[in-house]
Amino acid sequence: MDANCKQRLSAASQQQGTREDFGISQLQIQLVLSSGKIFSNVLSHVLAERGKQSAKRNPAEAAPLNVHPIPDVDSLKDFYLVTTFKPSYSAMDLIKRIRYRLRHPNTFLPGSPDGILRDLDGWLAKQHRSNPVLLRPGPLNLMWPDQGEQIRTLPLPKPAHPSHPCQPLPWRVLVTGSTALYRLHRFRILGREGTILSPDNRIVEAFTYTDLEDELASHPIFRRRRFAAAVPLRGTYASITYPSSFAWYHWVTESLPRLKLLLPFLDAIDGLFIPADTEPQIQQSLLAMGVEAKKLIPLSVYDHYEPEFMLIPRYCAGLNLPLWVPEFLQESIGLNKQDSTPPHRKLYISRADAGKRRILNEKELIPDLERAGFECVCLRDYSFTEQVRLFHQAACVIGAHGAGLVNVLYCRPSVQVIEITPSSQIGPHLFHSITACVGGTYWWLPGVPTRSSHAADIHQDFNVDPKQFSEALQHTGVV
């Protein structure tokens, strides 16, 4: 380590700063890493300084890691690593953290998360024991459980045409996750994905996708190029936003069900975070469920907030929708009370205005559909309220695999659903589970891919054999 590095390190390690969000004084230890080869010299200095300051710090607190480039270094291989460490860290802990970040350059960006918090309940219990006043001020509890895990067994899908028997379902037995509502103090929310960060700067797994095989490579937050400073907010805020909430299917299945736990506390929250730049149906769905427009806070890519308190429902749905979801979605907008007439409409959901999974020879199918009494519907032409009323009145729904079919959740148990997939290599999947959750009957009809080499591509445009389609209408009894 050269003299200039030693001088900067010695001067910087004597600095102290106060972070209002933690309410304590913290030592900032600054490390200069030259090609990642000076661990021993830096760590010896860090450990010595840490020992001097440990009596002034709270061992139970951990601070975020912030990294800033040195503007005056001669070598591009040098980094200026600014961080605070727990006094309980061993030299090996520090080495692991430094190596962890050296392997993934984007984690050197200012504000980058420091890994993933997998055991939220355990972390909260530990914090509650050390400082119960911060976590539980007032009458509200730490969390409100909704229900435990349940097991769903899907019925076998039915082939709409005898020449295409359905493939076996490896995921026929599903476990629906339990959910709970958490009241969190000084957690942060970052970006359009609605990523929740703990006070020790880790992604909270319970509030995002749970299939993160590689912590740094799998979550989109670790591929960011910039992290804005957090904007503090006074009061209580909530979020039901997920990495894919901007897409209609994911919004209805993964976000709206979580609103069940928030509805009793809508008057107590000052704002609800939602993804920005989305289809109008997303905001319309919240307004229909009783959320005030003035409380909606759109999250853009670089938005970063630190509310005083947050109410966050845990992830509970995806492919394995809990059985209470259809009833909740319908009752929350008053469908069951508004429409007492039996379902009678037949809907064909067109994707002619979509960018993928279009039925290229759709015009050849329209005559058979019209003779059978079907309405050809492009859902972009309808508001959220108009869409759910259409589906609530539907006796049968036919459509290509796409987000529009998620509105089957607003149908009644007698509904029949015929899903058309791009090829026979793509069998029943998401909408089979949704139809079963509603209590309806699911039929599957494969299309003909335009190129056999892309038969397994779920996003491709495709054709449908007109003769097989006509026979499928007869076979399913929807004519």
Is the Cβ–Cβ distance between 271 and 305 less than 8 Å?
Answer: no
Which pLDDT value is given to residue 41? 45
Which pLDDT value is given to residue 185? 87
Which pLDDT value is given to residue 409? 96
Which pLDDT value is given to residue 326? 92
Which pLDDT value is given to residue 147? 57
Q: How far apart are CA 65 and CA 201, in angstroms?
A: 7
Give the strands of the sheet with 29-34, arranged side by side: 29-34, 78-83, 66-67
Q: How far apart are CA 324 and CA 330, in angstroms?
A: 10
In the chain, where are the structural domains located?
A: 3-103, 117-139+179-315, 327-476
The β-bridge partners of 231 are 305
Which pLDDT value is given to residue 236? 93
Which pLDDT value is given to residue 20? 27
The encoded tokens of residue 257 equal 């069900």
Which residues have C-beta within 8 Å of that of residue 474, sequence separation ≥ 6?
none
215, with CB counted inside 10 A (0-12, 13-18, 19+), is middle
Which pLDDT value is given to residue 382? 94
What CATH number was assigned to the domain covering residues 327-476?
3.40.50
| pTM recorded for the entire structure | 0.74
Rg, the chain, Cα only: 27
3-class SS of residue 370: helix
Q: State phi, psi for 387 to the nearest 5 degrees.
A: -65, -50
Which pLDDT value is given to residue 104? 52
Q: Which of 41, 367, 399, 24 is nearest to 249 (CA)?
A: 399
Q: How far apart are CA 221 and CA 209, in angstroms?
A: 12
What are the DSSP E strand ranges found in 225-374? 231-239, 271-275, 296-299, 304-313, 345-349
Q: Which of 451, 419, 449, 424 is nearest to 164 (CA)?
A: 424
pLDDT < 70 positions in the chain: 1-111, 130-150, 167-175, 177, 210-218, 223, 318, 337-339, 453-455
Which pLDDT value is given to residue 314? 81
The encoded tokens of residue 90 equal 């061993």
Q: How far apart are CA 295 and CA 291, in angstroms?
A: 7
Q: Which of 53, 59, 74 is nearest to 22 (CA)?
A: 59
